[in-house]
Amino acid sequence: QPIDGACIGDGHSQIDSWEFPRSKLKIIRKLGNGMFGEVWEGQVKEIMGYKSLMKVAVKTVREEADDDAKRNLIKELQYMKTLQAHPNIITLFGCITMSHPMAIIMELATNGNLQNYLRRCRYNNIDAAIVTQKTLTTFAMDVANGMSFISSKKFLHRDLAARNVLIDEQMICKISDFGYSRDIIHSRQYESKSQAKLPLRWMAPESLYDGLYSVKSDVWSFGVLLWEIITLGATPYPGMSGSTVMIKVKEGYRLPKPLHCADVLYDLMNECWRSNPKLRPSFHRLYSHLEVIGQHIA
């Protein structure tokens, strides 16, 4: 029996070609905890026309989880279905929604999330050799490219941050975690959540104070993500409480220029953090700028 949420977002039949038989999915090990559930490494047989065994990532929500968590998984799944076939968006392979535990089966990004990757680089000399300024700019370009696609589909991510970007085996960044996403055309007023759950440090002032979200509030978050990349995974506004961040950002305070950050990159961040959302660049423009910056970095 599908739960209530199982048809959220599509409004038509609950079973579709994405549904995958549980018997062909083998769970191997836990990768970590997501916002609403758990993420596992798994192996599947015969998915999307692939005949051989394939390693996948499986996002699940436990049967005992509250309906909100289940509904969120279903919503995330719906957004993923719509946002497919782009090199910088995590690939959806299938789902299990007709029995518990429900699961989203997606591509396994073997280098994990960008925040953990960057932090490993900071503390681990081996990775530090690989991660050059050029690589970091490429990461930022990948994310801008994926976000450009998302915004062209009239979707908002609303939780863009390094923790929600994954890195695959070829070191390509893929946007994931669409748990907070909304489509601009059909979304109603953003349901109020407890502040503890909001990604305050990544949020634009108009989202923090007026609950307003737009492509340009995603652009603000992208600026913070850029800062995370350059600082190799530092927490934004270190040493400040969430409430102080809210007040200071509204007053015009901005994240400081990271050590060794090129002026052009810091200028780009500040463009993303303009108080007036209309004056922030589009993802397309950000991508082009980063491309030019990348060409000038050895």
Name the minimum Å distance from CB 93 to ligand ACK.
Answer: 10
Which residue's CB is nearer to ligand ACK, number 34 or number 94? 34
Neighbours of 169 (CB within 10 A): 10
Residue 120, burial from CB neighbour count under 10 angstroms (0-12, 13-18, 19+) = middle
Please give the structure tokens belonging to residue 235: 């927490």
Residue 192 tokens read as 């109020």
Q: Determine which residue in the list 5, 9, 34, 199 makes contact with ligand ACK, applying CB under 6 A.
A: 34
The answer to whether residues 79 and 181 touch, using CB atoms and an 8 Å cutoff, is yes
Per-residue x/- track, 163-182, ligand ACK (CB under 6 A): ---x---------x------
User: Of the two residues 105 and 290, which places its CB atom closer to ligand ACK in the complex?
Assistant: 105
Contact 172, 142 (CB under 8 A): yes
- Whether 59 has a binding-site annotation, put simply, is yes
* CA gap 179, 74 in Å, rounded: 9
Compute the least distance from the CB of residue 197 to ligand ACK, in Å.
16
Over the Cα atoms of the chain, what is R_g?
19
Which strands, in side-by-side order, build the sheet including 92-96?
Answer: 25-33, 38-44, 54-61, 102-107, 92-96
Q: Is the peptide bond before 101 cis (omega within 30 degrees of 0)?
A: yes
Least distance from C-beta 169 to ligand ACK, angstroms?
10
Q: Is 159 in the active site?
A: yes
Q: Of 6, 25, 39, 265, which lies in the binding site for ligand ACK, with binding defined by CB under 6 A?
A: 39
Tell me which of 142, 159, 177, 218 is the catalytic residue.
Answer: 159
Asked if 294 touches ligand ACK (CB under 6 A), the answer is: no
- Write out the binding residues for ligand ACK, residues 76-95 only, by CB under 6 A: 90
CB of 72 to ligand ACK, least distance (A): 14
Residue with tokens 């579709």: 16
CB atoms within 10 A of CB 280: 24
3-state secondary structure of 57: strand
List the one residue from 72, 78, 97, 113 that touches ligand ACK (CB under 6 A): 113
Binding mask 57-76 for ligand ACK (x = CB under 6 A): x-------------------
Alpha-carbon distances, residue 294 vs 6, 77, 141, 288 (angstroms)? 44, 34, 9, 10
Using the contact rule CB under 6 A, the part of the chain among 1-9, 27-35, 126-134, 187-195 near ligand ACK is 27-35
Residues in contact with ligand ACK by the rule CB under 6 A:
31-34, 39, 57, 90, 106-109, 112-113, 116, 166, 176
Residues in the annotated binding site: 59
Binding site for ATP, by residue number, is: 59
Catalytically active residues are: 159
